Chain A
Amino acid sequence: MAEILVLVDHLDGAVRKFTTEMLTLARRAGEPSAVFVGSGYDAAAETLAQFGAAKVYVADAPDLSEYLVTPKVELLASLIARTQPAAVLVPSTLEAKEIAARLAIRTGSGLITDAIDVSAELGTQQSAFAGSYVVDAKVTTGTPIIAVKANAVTPETAPSTPAVEAVAVDLPDSAKQARVVSRSPRKQTGRPDLSEASVVVSGGRGVGGPEGFRVVEELADALGGAVGASRAAVDSGWYPHASQVGQTGKTVSPQLYVAAGISGAIQHRAGMQTSKTIIAINKDGEAPIFEMADFGVVGDLHQVLPALVAEINRRKG
């Protein structure tokens, strides 16, 4: 069966759900080979095996993280040359899309980003124009390189015993041009990752200030979800940029999206339009967010959210 390279998305070996989804998709079209870059493979091994990696390539040299993007391009390019895979799947994150971009040029291969589905024939689906279109596409030249969005598929286990191979990467000078001079890890919130959470509760300008996000967080915690924010809230400095949902933030497609004090501008909708169920709380009954909400409450979020949290906790007993 054809080999499919899957670039593992992980933080120090903690494999993101993203990766298990890509392995699931890759199994439709061939045999997944996980490509693990960085330290912490031991922590990742079990998950990769559980989701059906037939092979794992592990590259863990310190200088791989000293430069932006290019080391992973070198590694994947050499693996493509050696293994002639049927396709390469990478997560559709900002960094991995850039890895995919250079790899496409390097190997003369077509590239599809932001895929929301990948078929056994390596056909893809994407959302376009803020979710108003679905586009079917296919790579026609070279080794298909596909950047897959989170939540594209429900991960399915398929236990395997992967063959593990350590690979060395020789970085030419051309790969050492953009040097990472400092890296400060982001504070972990203890909540699920925004891009892959099944529930997201977001606050906007209507939240009124940084303290206003407390009740947004409480609702997120009551529902076991992640916290998001509109750009207006982020630009006001009320919540970190990493939590921004929308065109220039994260795209999310959870089972449940709650928009509190968010008007529903096109750039915001672009990041949450494909959520399964959408709830809106806004004091302006004319706010465009209500056009797409499955359930909306016209009211003051400072009253509705605390009462909702109390009600949920009461029902949970």
Chain B
Amino acid sequence: MKIAVCVKYVPDAAADRSFSADHTTDRVGSIGILSELDEYAVEEALKIREAGDAEVIVLTMGPDGAETALKKALQMGADRAVHVSDPGLHGADAPATSLVLANAISRLEVDLVLCGMASTDAIMGVVPAMIAERLGLPQVTLAAELTVDGGAVRIRRDGEDAVEEIEASLPAVVSVTDQINEPRYPSFKGIMAAKKKTVETWSLSDLDVVPDQVGLGAAWSAVTEVTRRPPRSKGTVVTDDGTGAAQLADFLAANRFV
């Protein structure tokens, strides 16, 4: 079985994040990492490989530097890595990203596509569904548990109002939540092995995509302004000396919560 795992290179949420002058996420002036939520997808692919036989290919679309995300996934144990990189991609929106990833996935000819539940920068949670729509594949998303059996996948999904079990036949697009597993840390052996693996770089022309279809100018929505919110100011902090609850109650009463 061949598995593609879509991973995104994102600014580290623990560091300062900001926007560039053209309102796109600043991916140069920030510290970039493999989106933490995509580690769960990589881990799940590795588990499938360990339980049977599979090739795990990690795929990213991103700027220079995005190899960092792929390297981490290779260190975790992925077999192969593909980086779609093209100057024409700067400012790509979710529909454009899904077009590029869908074409790359077609070219890889995989049986299973694994994604994270959302990227930690944009937190849209839409790209997996868009890839499924573009490829005409079943969409089996937000898995808190995944079983791959023969030609079928089955997941447990903790939905808004119900816990659901969903089934589809392969090939399929599956996204996983952070409830599904505990991603491994790269081992020393994994780190050494990753040094021997190369990252393949594909450009838009390799994927039959023309720059006019993607990138900032081709986006289907536009950011008109970004404004930094003033940080919340720190309020009153009291140390409980036995009157903490009463002081809290006074605060709640003054603000008409009681």
Contact = CB atoms under 8 A, between A and B. Distances in A.
Contacts of A281: 244, 248
B193 interface: no
A308 B220 contact: no
Nearest to A234: B179
Interface string B137-181: 111111010000000001001111111111111001000011100
Contact of A98 (B123, B129, B235): B129
B161 A185 contact: yes
A74 B125 CA distance: 20
B166 A267 contact: no
Contacts of A199: 257
Given A186-B161, A285-B237, A113 B224 contact: no
B235 A295 contact: yes
B239 A299 contact: yes
A interface residue count range (under 10 / 10 to 19 / 20 to 34 / 35 or more)? 35 or more
B249 A111 contact: no
Nearest to B127: A101
Contact of B167 (A73, A95, A178, A316): A178
Contacts of B137: 177
Nearest to A127: B229
A291 B234 CA distance: 5
Nearest to B117: A248
Task: Name the prevailing secondary structure of the A interface residues.
Answer: mixed
A297 B236 CA distance: 9
Interface in A261-283: 266-267, 270, 273, 277-279, 281
Interface stretch (A40-48, A54-62, A137-145): A137-145
B21 interface: no
B6 to A, nearest CB: 14
A204 B255 CA distance: 25
Given A94-B160, A110-B95, A300-B240, A312 B252 contact: yes
A3 interface: no
A136 B160 CA distance: 28
A302 B125 CA distance: 38
Interface residues of B, number: 84
B139 A69 contact: yes
A315 B235 contact: no
A252 interface: no
Contacts of B223: 135-137
Contacts of B121: 129
Interface string B5-39: 00000000110011100010000000000000100
A222 B253 CA distance: 13
B132 A242 contact: no
A98 B240 contact: no
B126 A97 contact: yes
Contacts of A134: 226-227, 229
A70 B139 contact: yes
Task: Name the prevailing secondary structure of the B interface residues.
Answer: mixed
A273 B244 CA distance: 24
Interface in B216-233: 219-229, 231-232
B134 A95 contact: no
A102 B248 CA distance: 47
Contacts of A112: 221
A66 B162 CA distance: 13
B51 interface: no
A95 B220 contact: no
B147 to A, nearest CB: 12
Contacts of A106: 133
B13 A130 contact: yes
A138 B238 contact: no
Given A109-B220, A137-B222, A311 B95 contact: no
A18 to B, nearest CB: 11
B244 A304 contact: yes
A101 to B, nearest CB: 4
Ranked nearest first, the 10 interchain pairs of A and B with the lowest CB-CB distance are A299-B240, A110-B220, A307-B245, A177-B138, A101-B126, A110-B221, A294-B235, A141-B220, A296-B237, A101-B129
Interface of B: 13-14, 17-19, 23, 37, 93-95, 98, 117-118, 120-121, 123-130, 132-134, 136-142, 144, 154, 157-169, 172, 177-179, 219-229, 231-232, 234-240, 244-249, 251-253, 255, 257-258
22 contacts: A69-B129, A69-B139, A70-B139, A94-B117, A97-B124, A97-B126, A101-B129, A104-B95, A130-B13, A133-B19, A136-B226, A137-B222, A180-B164, A248-B177, A281-B244, A294-B235, A295-B235, A295-B238, A297-B238, A297-B239, A297-B248, A304-B240
Given A131-B229, A140-B220, A185-B162, 13 more contacts: A68-B139, A94-B117, A101-B127, A101-B130, A129-B121, A135-B226, A137-B221, A177-B139, A180-B165, A279-B248, A304-B240, A307-B246, A308-B249
